[in-house]
Amino acid sequence: MQLIQPDAAVRDAQGGNKENTMIRIYNTLTRRKEDFVPIKDGRVSMYVCGPTVYNYIHIGNARPMIVFDTVRRYFLYKGYKVDYVSNFTDVDDKIIREANEEGKTAKEVADFYIAECKKDMESMNIMPATANPQATQEIDGMISMIETLIEKGSAYVAKDGTVYYRTRSFPGYGKLSHKNIDDLEAGHRDIKVTGDDKEDYLDFVLWKPKKEGEPSWQSPWCDGRPGWHIECSVMSRKYLGDTIDIHAGGEDLIFPHHENEIAQSEVANGVPFAHYWMHNGFLNIDNKKMSKSLGNFLLVREILKRYNGDVLRFFMLQAQYRSPLNYSEDLMESAKNGLIRIRTCGDRLKDLIASASEMEMSEEEDELLDTTKEYVEKFEDAMDDDFNTADAIAAIFELVKFANTSLDSDSSTQMLMAVFEKLERMMGVLGLQFTIDHDDLDSHVEELIEKRQQARKDKDFALADKIRDDLLNEGIELMDTRDGVKWKRI
């Protein structure tokens, strides 16, 4: 798959100036949309929590990858430089369990699935991060931050060498999840960590003693390994600084993971951790929560056997990122058809460009092209409004309709190229290729022709006509001949 590089999204000056309009972000911390003002002018620092690598990534992992890659692309489109860091959690109980089952080391398991994750990310056209730190490579930094927390009285060492964070020592605990610390015991028992020497049920682990057969590292307290929350605090600080612009991840990470990150980071660093917190909504499968027990646990690798990675990406972006999203085969087919419709327009424009006789625009075309600015403005307005990709895609479809109805073989090369480049640029912001995959197109059309033929046999002529009309709207003309049904792009 040929990847769209960031410069493809920003190469045209139109819409590529960060001074044009203000981007507004819904901040989980304040529960409202806020104007984005970076710490450093013209530069954005983003930290996105990555997967725990004990298996191939699932579709739930894919949503934040796609969503925040698109956020990054839009910042690039607006002229910002983006420092984008996303980690791999490569030491965890699940990794250790998988290693024991496979008869391998935890490192062998983690390294294998990191490599496979990167393959899946490439298939979904996820831009490589500025840095992909791994927890096991940052142990010294974690020990250093824990020592700082102990010195400041916000952490303590239990008899067995476990180090706990004193949750109540941080006055702002609960400010991200908007939970009252005194109400947490009854409603959120999942944050409890067993331990005889804990001072408070709310205290969470910063460092834990090793168990037999587990990977471990030396520390001032015991041979062991870090708790989950301290990992991201340290990696974010090392690669982006004490305070960052945006911290992002799935909605399920708000509490306790991100809440605990804030508590330990702000005490250790003495400054706010992140100015903007972004979280994508949950993803369900056929209106049910994804789980292995329900048999609806979908790996990206399995989906990519049936669909191009762009189809999965287009499906994900058809919903605003904070909204819940439901995955189904019907919705994926709809996304596939929508993407083909856009790309068919692109192919038609390329054919027209190749055969156009007039190079320069006429005055009438110049006026007509001026009307297309409204579609670009709608696209940018949608993306400026908390990265509303659903409305941005609607703007793309409006421009596609304009191209299909207003441009033809009499159009000039300059006019055709101007519209083509607008569409290509907008698709690039979404991380989508504006080129047709002819294998996908062929199978899509042949499948619909087969359904139309069956409808005619069943005397369901209304359905047969609808299929013909739908294909025509996609730029595909059907021709009934003695040798069967033929088709061509128009």
Per-residue pLDDT tens for 197-220?
899 989 999 999 999 989 999 999
In this structure, what token pair is assigned to residue 51?
């997967």
Asked whether the predicted pLDDT for residue 379 surpasses 90, the reply is: yes
* 455 to 332, 336, 479: CA distances (angstroms): 23, 22, 16
Tokens at 186, concatenated: 């009854």
Backbone angles phi, psi at 80, to 5 degrees: -80, 155
The per-residue pLDDT for 42 is 97
Helices marked H in 136-281: 139-151, 184-187, 228-240, 259-269
Q: Examine the pLDDT at 390 and tell me if it is beyond 70.
A: yes
What pLDDT does 195 receive?
Answer: 52
For residue range 130-146, what is the model confidence (pLDDT) as tens digits? 999 999 999 999 999 99
pLDDT for res 312:
97
Residues 6+ apart with CB under 8 A from 134: 87, 88, 90, 110, 114
Listed range (184-193, 243-252, 378-387) with the worst mean pLDDT: 184-193
pLDDT for the residue numbered 185? 57
What distance in Å separates the CA atoms of residue 189 and residue 171, rounded to the nearest whole number?
20
Least confidently predicted of 17-21, 177-181, 305-309, 426-430: 17-21
Distance CA 25, CA 44 (A): 13
Average pLDDT for residues 72-100, to the nearest whole number? 97
With cut-offs at 50, 70 and 90, classify the pLDDT of residue 18: very low
pLDDT at 382 over 90: yes
Please state, in angstroms and rounded to a whole number, the distance separating the CA atoms of residues 399 and 241.
Answer: 41
Strand positions, DSSP E, 113-176: 155-157, 163-165
Torsion angle of C-alpha atoms 344, 13, 26, 135, degrees rounded to 10: 90
Instruction: Give all strands (DSSP E) within 238-338, no chain letters.
Output: 244-250, 274-280, 283-285, 288-289, 325-327
Handedness of CA 371, 372, 378, 384 (dihedral sign): negative
**Of 215-229, 264-278, 464-478, the least confident:** 464-478
* pLDDT above 90 (res 189): no
The model scores a pTM over 0.95: no
Distance CA 310, CA 122 (A): 10
The conformation of residue 321, written as its DSSP 8-state character, comes to T
* CA dihedral of residues 299, 300, 305, 306 (deg, nearest 10): 100
Helix, coil or strand: residue 200: coil
The confidence score (pLDDT) of residue 435 equals 67
Sign of the CA dihedral with 260 first, then 264, 267, and 271 last? negative
Per-residue model confidence (pLDDT) at position 454: 87
Mean pLDDT of 7-30: 63
pLDDT of 266 higher than 90: yes
Mean pLDDT for the stretch of residues 478-485: 77
In this predicted structure, what is the pLDDT of residue 6?
Answer: 41
49-69 average pLDDT score: 97
Residue-wise pLDDT for 312-360, tens only, equals 999 999 999 999 999 999 999 999 999 999 999 999 999 999 999 888 9
440 pLDDT more than 70: no
Task: Give the bridge partners for 383, in sequence order.
Answer: none
Q: Is the pLDDT of residue 4 over 50?
A: no
Task: Give the residue-averaged pLDDT of 26-33.
Answer: 98
Residue range 378-390: mean pLDDT, rounded: 98
Give the β-pairing of 244-250 and 274-280: parallel
- In percent, how much of the chain has pLDDT > 70? 90
How many of the other CB atoms lie within 10 Å of CB of 39?
A: 13
Q: How far is CA 143 from the centre of its chain?
A: 31
Pick from 457, 448, 458: which is nearest to 478 by CA?
448
Contact 303, 58 (CB under 8 A): no
Residue 288's pLDDT band (cuts 50, 70, 90): confident
What pairs with residue 486 in β-bridges? 479
Q: What is the pLDDT of residue 99?
A: 95
Query: Token pair for residue 53?
Result: 């690598």
Q: Which of 75-79, 161-165, 346-350 has the least mean pLDDT?
A: 346-350
Q: Look at residue 36 and tell me whether its pLDDT is greater than 80.
A: yes
Tell me what pLDDT residue 187 has: 40
Identify which has the larger pLDDT, 386 or 294. 386
The owner of tokens 């068919």 is: 344
> What is the structure's pLDDT at 367?
95
- pLDDT for the residue 65: 98
* Residue 483 predicted with pLDDT over 70: no
pLDDT for 184: 75
Confidence of residue 14 (pLDDT cuts 50, 70, 90): very low
- Using CA atoms, how far residue 53 sits from 21, 113, 114, 279, 455, in Å, is 39, 6, 6, 21, 47
Decide if pLDDT at 434 tops 50.
Answer: yes
